[in-house]
């Protein structure tokens, strides 16, 4: 098993806007009495996070994942023996390398994704995710606390 860390670029812009949200046009397009209506969700609008959650949830369900009942950000793919957690625009996926490659291809074809790192026993280097350092050690994975939180404690 290995862990993939995937970051979605400009995640909210992948989700369709459902309300009529109007914005001021940029200076090069600005005309008196004119404004723009958003076709995609935009960070800072009330429904942006909700629309993004619906976008990635429907993608995961289409790929064959089951959404968690107690936490809608947790997904499980029974046939491929995969688990995934979504935190904002960051995906952490646990599976075999073959299935992680399948997931990378699937998500990369639909969303603008950056594949940050893959942790595996054969690749013991560390990675940083959500301001925390993860590293493969002899008997598992070492998870370092966010330094700002550790200082508070």
Q: CB under 8 Å, gap of 24 or more: what pairs does 20-27 form?
A: 21/45
Element (H, E) at 16: none
Query: Read out DSSP for 1-66?
Result: -EEEEEEETTGGGGSBP-S--EEPPPTTT--TT--EE-SB--TTSTTHHHHHHHHHHHHHHHTT-E
Determine the average pLDDT of the residues in 19-24: 82
pLDDT reported for residue 57: 92
Going from the C-alpha of 10 to that of each of 50, 80, 107, 133, the distances in angstroms are: 15, 28, 14, 23
Q: Which two tokens stand for residue 97?
A: 């390398």
This prediction has a pTM of 0.77
**pLDDT tens digits for range 39-80:** 777 777 777 777 888 889 999 999 999 999 999 999 999 999
Confidence band for 153, pLDDT divided at 50, 70 and 90: low
How high is the pLDDT of residue 152?
67
């Amino acid at each position: 098993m290995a862990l993939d860390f995937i970051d979605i670029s400009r995640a909210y812009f992948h989700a369709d806007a459902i309300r009529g949200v109007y914005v001021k046009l940029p200076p090069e397009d600005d005309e008196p009495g004119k404004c723009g209506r958003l076709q995609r969700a935009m960070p800072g609008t009330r429904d942006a996070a909700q629309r993004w959650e619906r976008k990635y949830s429907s993608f995961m369900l289409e790929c064959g994942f089951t959404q968690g009942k107690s936490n809608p950000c947790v997904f499980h793919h029974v046939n491929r023996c995969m688990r995934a957690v979504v935190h904002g625009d960051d995906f952490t996926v646990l599976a075999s390398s073959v299935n992680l490659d399948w997931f990378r291809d699937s998500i990369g074809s639909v969303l603008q994704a950056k594949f940050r790192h893959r942790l595996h026993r054969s690749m013991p280097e560390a990675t940083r995710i959500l301001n925390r350092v993860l590293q493969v050690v002899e008997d598992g994975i070492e998870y370092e606390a966010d330094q700002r939180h550790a200082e508070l404690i």
